[in-house]
């Protein structure tokens, strides 16, 4: 009984330690993927915003408003708070706005994050 109890305690302690290390590694990887994705969206939006600034017709005005909205959403995103309750919800909203902007600009954007590389293609 004593050996069983000691073995359980040792195994539990070792498992907890390994779990913390594995959880930290997984969280870092997922955070890096999300940061890369959101960063690409921001760069995309700011580039198009600069390209469209000189055009003042109504069509481009709508595109600029959508780009401004996407940039605002990204800038308000709480990067520093991993416990943010609406993280997934806000990321989905940003993705949806990005797709809307791509549609308005008539750009086919495909963002992929993989083990080999991450890319944003047009």
Domains of the chain, by residue range, sit at 35-105
Confidence (pTM): 0.75
Task: For 64-107, write each residue's pLDDT tens digit.
Answer: 999 999 999 999 998 888 788 998 999 999 999 999 999 999 99
Strand-pair partners of 119: 112
E strands of the chain, at which residues? 110-113, 118-121
Strand-pair partners of 118: 113
Task: Take residue 47 and report the two structure tokens written for it.
Answer: 């580039």
Mean pLDDT over 10-32 rounds to: 90
């Amino acid at each position: 009984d004593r050996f069983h109890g000691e073995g359980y305690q040792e195994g539990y302690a070792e498992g907890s330690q390994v779990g913390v290390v594995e959880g930290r590694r997984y969280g870092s990887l997922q955070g890096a993927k999300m940061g890369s994705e959101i960063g690409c969206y921001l760069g995309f939006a700011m580039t198009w915003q600069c390209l469209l600034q000189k055009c003042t017709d109504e069509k481009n005005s709508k595109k600029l408003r959508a780009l401004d909205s996407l940039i605002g959403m990204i800038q308000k995103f709480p990067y520093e708070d991993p416990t943010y309750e609406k993280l997934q919800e806000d990321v989905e909203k940003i993705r949806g706005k990005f797709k809307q902007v791509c549609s308005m600009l008539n750009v086919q954007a495909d963002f992929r994050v993989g083990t080999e590389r991450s890319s944003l293609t047009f």
